[in-house]
Amino acid sequence: MSTAGGRRQQTRMPSVDEHVRQVVDAAPPLTDDQRARLAATLSPAQHNAGARRAAA
């Protein structure tokens, strides 16, 4: 990026990792129910089948 004086101005953009960390740090903590649902969502499929039936 150039400025009117011909000097280059460099603006450092945060990396994706840094941006995600900032967003996560700014969010409120998960409730116990949210934490359990997230764990069930991220666990392997054979373990999710029982959790999905129980939630339905």
Token pair recorded at residue 53: 């039936």
SS3 content of the chain, % helix, strand, coil (to 5): 60, 5, 40
Res 46: pLDDT: 63
pTM given for the model: 0.43
Res 38: pLDDT: 94
Residues 51, 40 contacting (CB under 8 angstroms)? yes
Res 45: pLDDT: 75
Residues 1, 10 contacting (CB under 8 angstroms)? yes
Res 10: pLDDT: 79
- Summarised one tens digit per residue, pLDDT across range 1-43 is 455 566 777 788 889 999 999 999 999 999 999 999 999 999 9
pLDDT at 49 over 70: no
Q: Which DSSP symbol is given to 10? A: -
